[in-house]
Every structure is written in C-alpha cells, then in structure tokens.
Amino acid sequence: GTRRLNIHYLSVFPQPSIAEAVQACIDVQKERTCSFRTHRGAVEYNFLVTISRLSGGVLFLSFQDQSHAIGLRQVHRDFVANVSHELRTPLTAIIGYVETLQGPAKGDQKAADIFLPKMLAEAHRMNDLVSDLLALSQAEADARRVPDEDADITPLLVAAIDRVKDVFPDRDFQIKLNTPQTVPPIKADADRLAQVFNNLLENAVKYGRADHQNHIEITLRHLDEDPGLIGPALEITFSDEGQGIAPTDIPRLTERFFR
C-alpha cells in the first residue's frame, strides 16, 4: 500500500542530482531521469531514477536498480586491464630475449640455449591465458543450453580423483569419497561436470594444508527436496584443510570476469 510520510523528499534522497531533475520536471513539465547512489553497509547501490508528472501536480519517482550492470562493467574493465597486464609481461620478456639474440648475443649458442627455454615458457604462459579466455567465452555461450543427456556422477568423481593424483604426484594428500550405495543419473553435461570436479580438486590440493598430509573429502548426497531447486537434487561437497577463501570474496565467486 501507499504510505504518506509527510517529510521532504530530499530528506529521503539527499542528492543534488534528484533535486535538479525534480525541479527540471516541474519547470518544463516533462519526464526527467537522473542517477541515484546510496550505501547499505559496505555495499553501494546505483539506481536510474525516472521523474514523471502526474495529474494534480503530483510527481512520481521510479527507481530502477542498475547496481549489477554497473558493477559488471567495472569488473569487465578491471578484467581487461588485468589481462592486458598479464599478456604484456610475457610479451615484453620475449621481445627482450629476441632483441638480445638478434643483437649482442647473435650467433651465441650458449645464450640461445639459455633464452629459448625461457621464451618457450613465456609463450606457454600466454597460451594458457588465451585458453582461459576461450573457455570463459565457451562457457557463456553454453550457459543457457539445457543438457539433454544423462550423466553418472560417481564415475566422474572417481576419474577426477585419479587424474589429480597423476597431476600432483609429489603432493602429500589423501582423498576420501563418500557416496550412497545408489546414485541416480541426472540430466547434465558430463564434460562440464568433469571440468568443475577437476578444478575443485586441483584447488583443494594446491591450496589445502601444506605443513603435513592434506585430507580432502568429497561427499555426495541425494536430497529428496532442495529449496533452491524446488525438487530433488544431488549435493556434492568438496572440503579440504586449507585456510579457505576470504569471506568478502565469497559472494563474488560466480561473477563473470572475477579472478
């Protein structure tokens, strides 16, 4: 319902942008727009405000929340800047090596034996970064495609465990897999799930406990009713003994471009 507060609107929205837009709407009797920013705790909210003139001299202000879009644009800008920096560093190194081999170390086989492996390593760094970008682009392209094939979760988890043992033969870790006796197949993209499981396990190994054996546990549960999905679900939990992720970063983990 509508509540009459009987207070001046600038007491609620104390920003010059709104005052100017409201006065302009009164003066020219046409719709006006402006931006409005406010904070709730540490979180900033951005609104597009539309001021419309109704009958009887009443002004109607509507607020459209644009916080997510504005935040996404900022994240995108930060991401582009970070990628540019990440590419510039190996490129600068490679250019330096090439100029040295073409100039002061021209024809020097010992210098070539030193610089060429370094150039290859820098090129691999750039290749890995480009691969990450392509994977992100592909993931966004597939984001709205609904899987139509069945996937068995347990074999995917077992394969991910075997893989991570091969990838990190020198790390001291132990993985325990807890699954119910029967796990129904689900509609899912098996390749994408394998990617997720591999990523989570690699992170658990790399960022888990380092001072002695790192214990990693994977637990698979069948839920008859999941509130978020409004129906049955499979819940998969990965846990390790690392220090974890900073609480301030956790809400941003699923943001596009957030690294």
**What is the pLDDT, as a whole number, of residue 144?**
64
Taking alpha carbons only, the member of 218, 211, 134, 201 closest to residue 167 is 201
From first to last of the 259 residues of the chain, give the pLDDT tens digit.
566 677 777 777 778 888 888 888 888 888 888 888 887 766 678 888 898 888 877 888 889 888 777 767 777 777 777 778 788 888 898 999 899 989 988 888 998 899 899 999 989 888 888 887 777 767 666 666 778 889 999 999 999 999 999 988 888 899 999 999 888 888 888 988 998 999 999 999 988 887 778 899 999 998 888 887 778 889 999 999 888 888 888 888 777 667 6
Whole-model pTM? Answer: 0.52
Angle between helices 190-207 and 153-167 (to 10 degrees): 40
At 246 the three-state DSSP class reads coil
* Terminal-residue alpha carbon distance, the chain: 43
Rounded distance between C-alpha atoms, residue 85 and residue 64, angstroms: 35
Rounded distance between C-alpha atoms, residue 75 and residue 190, angstroms: 30
**What is the pLDDT, as a whole number, of residue 259?**
66
Rounded distance between C-alpha atoms, residue 122 and residue 89, angstroms: 9
Strand-strand pairing, 214-226 and 173-178: parallel
10-to-13, 16, 52 alpha-carbon distances in Å: 5, 9, 17
Please give the structure tokens belonging to residue 123.
Answer: 């090129």
* Residue the block writes with tokens 């978020």: 228
**What is the pLDDT, as a whole number, of residue 238?**
94
96-to-89, 91, 100, 167 alpha-carbon distances in Å: 11, 9, 6, 32
135-to-12, 138, 197, 230 alpha-carbon distances in Å: 46, 5, 15, 30
Q: Which neighbouring-strand residues pair with 215?
A: 174
Taking alpha carbons only, the member of 83, 118, 125 closest to residue 101 is 118
